[in-house]
Amino acid sequence: MIFSMAGNVVRESFNTAMQEATRQRKEDAAKRLDFYNDFQVDYIKEALAAHFSNPDKLTPCFVNIVRKVINRLAMVYVQDARRKVDGTDRDQEIFQEIERGAWLGAKWKLANRYSKLLGLVALRPVWRNGALDIDLVTPDILDVTVGDSPEDMRSFMVTHYPETGLQEELTYSVWTPEAFKRLDYRGHEVEVDTNPYGTIPYQTVWNRVPTDSFWTPGAADLVTIQEAFNEKLTDLLYVLRMQGFGVGYVKGMKGEISSVDPGTFFNLPIDGELGFAATNAPLNESLEVLDFLLKQAAVSNGLPASSLTTDPSDESGVAKVAGNIELEEMRRDDVELFRAYERRLFRLIKTVWNYHNPGRKFSEKAELMIDFYDQKPTVAPDKQAATWDQLLTMGVISPVDIMLERNPDLSRDEAKVRLVEIQEENREFLETKI
């Protein structure tokens, strides 16, 4: 009965993957990834071919606005979060092993950026080569069926494209809570097995709480602005090439003359003329358009306009504060989302790990405690020292708090040990001086 129900879900997933709307969604996600990762030239050439009879005369050029804006918006992991398992010493030891081996901090930072870019990504704990790793799956290869709500996931299907490019080597892997199946390019089952974890081993990371649809929107506006910017920048290079130099001319002479080098003399007829005509290329207008597009890309995404401009003039204080407040609010919202995502992923990690390591399991009650880095305004060293002195005098902080503020990567116990080491070193040098 279980496999019969799972089979219905699998067929639904495969049929969904074949729909035109799904194909368009995947192509859009692939395009955003290309733009973010600097693969934009082919898209520029395609646009040139659609608008110019001789597109090869234009040199494609781009500046990566998409990556700049996305990296500025994805601020959850300005510094990696501090993760600790609330459980036994062995729980913490196992998790630290996974955290280092799977590059967990780097994966979460990339998930934050890709969720802004694509609307969502999925993380999967996978047991591979005797160790637990974390795979990051993007929407261009993902199909999902859901139940009554976007978070009620019934199946995950991942498309595996072969390096050969041959369609008959294309395969799909489908996970349901009950079963795992591998399909060939026609949707026929080539492998069927029970799901040993009892749950779909994927954690979805959305850029906002999903309400009406599983597929939340990403940076569609940035791609549009990027394409407009690339087009105008490529046009500007062509204008500079074609109109950036003077054109030599001769009046009063019959026949054609070849180009000449400096120092060459001409015997001109009476009233003849030799000179260069300068063209009036619309350079300033083009630069103004480029600057406008940059600023719109920043402001429309909650960034200060100065973050995407080379203008050295400072913004007003009000503009800076307003921009920072908006970014801080967005980051607070994102932190709460990612706090939940990290805890959910840890539960999946625990499930996968315990299945493959029956002799060295996480304890049943082990849960993840996570502390995100708190951004602080830049303060001059002398003012910071005075503030610390005042707080120490008031008795509301200790030297350990100052040590932790200077080095957030330390645990409180590590900060105490380091503080004792510093005090001993200070006594040693004071005694030597005396």
pLDDT (0 to 100) of residue 357: 97
The conformation of residue 206, written as its DSSP 8-state character, comes to: E
- pLDDT (average), residues 341-351: 97
pLDDT (0 to 100) of residue 314: 47
pLDDT (0 to 100) of residue 213: 87
Q: What are phi and psi of 114, to 5 degrees?
A: -70, -30
Q: Pick 127 or 424 by higher pLDDT.
A: 127
pLDDT (0 to 100) of residue 11: 58
The conformation of residue 374, written as its DSSP 8-state character, comes to: P
pLDDT grade, residue 1 (50/70/90)? very low
**Amino acid of residue 114:** Y
pLDDT grade, residue 362 (50/70/90)? very high
pLDDT (0 to 100) of residue 76: 92
Answer yes or no: is pLDDT of 186 > 70.
yes
The first and second tokens of residue 38, run together, are: 């600097």
pLDDT tens digits for 246-298?
A: 666 677 677 666 665 556 666 777 777 766 565 666 666 666 766 766 776 66
pLDDT grade, residue 178 (50/70/90)? very high
CA distance 45 to 54: 11
Strands 203-206 and 247-251: unpaired
pLDDT grade, residue 405 (50/70/90)? confident
pLDDT grade, residue 417 (50/70/90)? confident
Could you tell me the sign of the dihedral formed by the alpha carbons of 70, 71, 75, 81, in that order?
A: positive
pLDDT (0 to 100) of residue 124: 97
Answer yes or no: is pLDDT of 215 > 50.
yes
- Could you give the count of Cα atoms lying within 13 Å of 122 in the half-sphere of its Cβ? 23
Q: Pick 339 or 411 by higher pLDDT.
A: 339
Q: Pick 266 or 77 by higher pLDDT.
A: 77
CA distance 367 to 364: 9
pLDDT tens digits for 156-171?
A: 999 999 988 898 999 9
Strand blocks (E) in 87-170: 120-128, 131-137, 142-146, 153-160
pLDDT (0 to 100) of residue 315: 47
pLDDT (0 to 100) of residue 377: 62
Map out the domains of the chain as residue ranges: 1-243+278-375, 381-434
Q: How far is CA 269 from the centre of its chain?
A: 68
Q: Pick 308 or 32 by higher pLDDT.
A: 32
pTM score of the predicted model = 0.75
Answer yes or no: is pLDDT of 312 > 60.
no
Q: Pick 173 or 427 by higher pLDDT.
A: 173
Q: How confident is the prediction for the chain on average, in pLDDT?
A: 83
Helix (H) or strand (E) holding 182: strand 179-183
- pLDDT (average), residues 48-61: 85
Place of tokens 């009476």: 270
pLDDT tens digits for 126-152?
A: 999 999 999 999 999 999 999 888 999
